[in-house]
Structure 1
Amino acid sequence: MLILVLNAGSSSLKYQLINVQTAEVKASGLCERIGIDGVMKHEIAEHRKLQIDHPMPTHKEAIEFMLDILTHDDTQVIANIDEIAAVGHRVVHGGEYFNKSILINANVVKKIEELVPLAPLHNPAHILGIKICQELLPGKPNVAVFDTAFHQTMPEENYLYAVPHEDYTEHHLRKYGFHGTSHYYVSDQAIQMLDKKESKVIVCHLGNGSSICAVKDGKSIDTTMGLTPLEGLVMGTRSGDIDAGVIPYLMDKKGMDSNQMINYLNKKSGILGVSGISSDLREVIKAAKDGDHRSKICIEMMCNRIKKYICSYIGILGGVDAICFTAGIGENADLIREKSCANLEFLGIELDKKKNKKRESGNREINKDNSPVKIYVIPTNEEYVIAQDTYNLVKG
């Protein structure tokens, strides 16, 4: 069964065509600059890579062009679109409505629309992708897979904020958490590697957006992102945790309104803001090696925040069996893994520096042989989780 996985952004569209039974990615790609001039980067399973300039005034043209590329004689991976059994959509915010993936109907779309105020940059684009697929692929099932769903198992004391309770009951003010499909996939892989159903796992999803999740017996019990993806770690352009008093202070000093303040914290802070060089950690690490002081401090701040949450989640879990690193930074930046685990030997976390520096594909163990706590590098696969959930719901 072939599942088309879509992640519609405000001006972009990521996609994969996946054979769920074999886990083969038949094709994948990214449509960028939708509404401007349009660029598609497309890869076929045989490692044929294409970059195509094509007008994409709206998401509809982007999806039409993607379907054409999948079936075109020169780039064909399927004979016709009837071979697509269903479409799985990544949806960032499911609020408290959705604690698992769901077949999409009019009521589901309505609920996702109601949650737009909680994810104004994401949910509108997801809704657009869903409606276009319903139009272009009539009769094909569509499934919504939510970033927030995995975290709906958090206990009340971990998801509530210490504010008047009516702001939760009336305005849905609470921690929701994100990167749920990644945290689910990586923790599930770790549980299999541990061969332990009763387990305590900490997953560090480190990329341009980053979050950490405490997973007990396969269920999320706490995570670093909150009402929005702004809370928690130091990220590419996001500040992460910050004293709320900073907001009115800076608004007064810099004459900013609330929208400018949110833009400041979401797009001008984090690694970019501290280093002053780039939001790309690779460039910051290079600058630090060349002696740039702000880049060095940026790396230390980032790793200290990761370490702080690892230690706090060990306390919440009552111990830990495995710490997992995943996503772009987590999978590739050995320096960040090393610094994040440094001086935690007293907790049984003993990193093997030689194993850590090795470049290998697939799941791997980077702890010392006698380390009480396992340390894993596990490549995430959010698209496969979406495809698998879609397949299971359609098959059912």
Structure 2
Amino acid sequence: MTSDAILVLNAGSSSIKFELFDIVGGDAETRFEGQMEGIGASPHLIARDATRHVLADHRWAGPDVANHGAALEVIAKELSPAMAGRRIIAVGHRVVHGGPDLVAPVLIDDAVMAQLEALAPLAPLHQPHNLAGIAASRARLPGVPQVACFDTSFHRSHAWEADTFALPPEFYARGIRRYGFHGLSYEYIAANLAEAEPALAAGRVVVAHLGNGSSLCAMRGGRSVDSTMGFTALDGVPMGTRCGQIDPGVLLHLLMTEGMEPAALQKLLYGNAGLKGMSGISQDVRDLEASAEPRAAQALAYYAWRVRREIGALAAALGGLDGLVFTAGIGENARDLRARICEGLGFLGIDIDPARNQANEREISRPGAATRVLVRATDEEGMIARHVLNLLRRSKWA
């Protein structure tokens, strides 16, 4: 007997993360997940089932898996035994930027693809690669519904003053506004809190999505009130290779006085700044924490200071704070950096327990602290699967 399944893809510049969900009783349950990394260079496929049993772990020569289309072919072949008896009824895709018009998950057609391609300059590290994954999936699975889910959607609940820049209003009308990102992650955390911690979810919460890409989001009642990222995913706190907030006068100076070309400036801000640029060593927090180089310590100190500063700013936007949630790779695992971020936030009622923090417990605040501090795993792929299911139920494919 054939059962229905949803495939979720998150395509990067040289990688494809994937997760297959069985549809069981109207819900999406993970069947297997994994990623193909090093596409075009040193391709490596790793996949595990829901019990973490390894289903595939293979490497190839670069030319054997030259692009996203070839990667999907390899993934399908290697995981065909795990696909036995399953029919993919839809594919969900993470898309970083939806712009002002695409504010909810949408069925992808040629017109939607054109809209997404026009937004590529606003997310050059992500959007072109998201679209490459979509194109490869549409080619390999013709007739199967493809659904785009946007990192910007969750933040469309912002009030105008949190959404605009101090520019003449015609710029806002042209779509030059603060969009916010990592929305799929924040949406998952909001849903998780609503189920596990309903009283906290109903209050004022700052979520810190800290990874190679980092941002923070202020939520009230599970809805986004403000976010550190703006028009692009460059804004806010420093990241692995991205600068975060920077005085626009610096950019004008580099362009007009020092004669830097726009392409070189883009490469600097997106690829040679942040932890990597400041340290001159690595974008990986683990490498920096293990290094004795002063620049590594300085980069981590700056990162912690900026995140701490944004927590205070977002608490002001909320009018107080009931909870702080750390998530994503750094947020979930970098214990020492979490402790440094929380130093000096006692005025917000934040008081973490060093032992609980080092043990990586789900709640790291001291018992009785005025503001609870939690550590939660995020699941963007699971959130995408939920959106795809909901869209299918409202469509002719339900």
Alpha-carbon spacing, 1:147–1:132, altered in 2? closer, same or farther (3 Å): same
Q: Partners in 2 of 1:327 and 1:42 — Cα distance?
A: 20
- Which residue identity lines up with residue 296 of structure 1 in the other structure? A
Deviations 1:331-384 (A, max 9, x none): 001111111111211221111111111045xxx111111111110000011110
Counterpart of 1:67 in structure 2 is 76
Equivalent residue in structure 2 for 1:277, among 257, 275, 281: 281
Counterpart of 1:380 in structure 2 is 378
SS in 2 for 1:365: coil
**1:173 aligned onto 2:176:** yes
Q: Partners in 2 of 1:47 and 1:30 — Cα distance?
A: 14
Q: Partners in 2 of 1:384 and 1:376 — Cα distance?
A: 20
**1:58 aligned onto 2:67:** yes
Q: Partners in 2 of 1:7 and 1:141 — Cα distance?
A: 16
Q: TM-score, normalised by structure 1?
A: 0.91
Deviations 1:134-191 (A, max 9, x none): 3322332221110111111111101111122222223x21111111000111122233
Deviations 1:238-274 (A, max 9, x none): 1111111112333466542111012111111111122
Contact kept in structure 1, 2:44 and 2:57, CA below 8 Å: no
Contact kept in structure 2, 1:42 and 1:51, CA below 8 Å: no
- Which residue identity lines up with residue 68 of structure 2 in the other structure? H
Deviations 1:197-219 (A, max 9, x none): 53211100000110000011111
Deviations 1:120-144 (A, max 9, x none): 4433333332233233223322211
Q: CA deviation at 1:234?
A: 1.3
User: How big is the alpha-carbon RMSD for the aligned residues of Structure 1 and Structure 2?
Assistant: 2.1
Q: Partners in 2 of 1:111 and 1:376 — Cα distance?
A: 38
Q: Partners in 1 of 2:194 and 2:29 — Cα distance?
A: 23
- Which residue identity lines up with residue 347 of structure 2 in the other structure? F
Deviations 1:45-76 (A, max 9, x none): 452150221612332221122111221xxxx2
- Which residue identity lines up with residue 128 of structure 1 in the other structure? A
**1:331 aligned onto 2:332:** yes
**1:308 aligned onto 2:309:** yes
Alpha-carbon spacing, 1:330–1:121, altered in 2? closer, same or farther (3 Å): closer
Alpha-carbon spacing, 1:123–1:276, altered in 2? closer, same or farther (3 Å): closer
Number of residue pairs aligned between Structure 1 and Structure 2: 384
Q: Partners in 2 of 1:308 and 1:20 — Cα distance?
A: 43
Q: Partners in 2 of 1:209 and 1:226 — Cα distance?
A: 13
**1:15 aligned onto 2:21:** no
SS in 1 for 2:82: coil
Q: Partners in 1 of 2:193 and 2:307 — Cα distance?
A: 19
Contact kept in structure 2, 1:3 and 1:18, CA below 8 Å: yes
SS in 2 for 1:83: strand
Counterpart of 1:85 in structure 2 is 89
Counterpart of 2:230 in structure 1 is 226
Name stretches of at least 5 consecutive residues in structure 1 with no aligned partner.
none
Q: CA deviation at 1:23?
A: 5.6
Equivalent residue in structure 2 for 1:28, among 33, 47, 50: 33
SS in 1 for 2:79: helix
Q: Partners in 2 of 1:111 and 1:253 — Cα distance?
A: 35
Q: Partners in 1 of 2:177 and 2:280 — Cα distance?
A: 32
Q: Partners in 1 of 2:44 and 2:350 — Cα distance?
A: 45
Contact kept in structure 1, 2:28 and 2:386, CA below 8 Å: no
SS in 1 for 2:65: coil
Q: CA deviation at 1:224?
A: 0.8
Counterpart of 1:319 in structure 2 is 320
Contact kept in structure 2, 1:190 and 1:322, CA below 8 Å: no
Q: Partners in 2 of 1:359 and 1:217 — Cα distance?
A: 26
Equivalent residue in structure 1 for 2:366, among 339, 353, 368: 368
Q: CA deviation at 1:36?
A: 4.5
SS in 2 for 1:90: strand
Equivalent residue in structure 2 for 1:217, among 203, 221, 227: 221
Q: CA deviation at 1:112?
A: 1.9
The within-5 A match list for 1:176-187 is 176-187=179-190
- Which residue identity lines up with residue 282 of structure 1 in the other structure? R
Q: Partners in 2 of 1:249 and 1:109 — Cα distance?
A: 36
Counterpart of 2:53 in structure 1 is 47
Moved more, 115-124 or 197-206: 115-124
Contact kept in structure 2, 1:230 and 1:239, CA below 8 Å: yes
**1:126 aligned onto 2:135:** no
Contact kept in structure 2, 1:20 and 1:388, CA below 8 Å: no
SS in 2 for 1:305: helix
Q: Partners in 2 of 1:56 and 1:279 — Cα distance?
A: 26
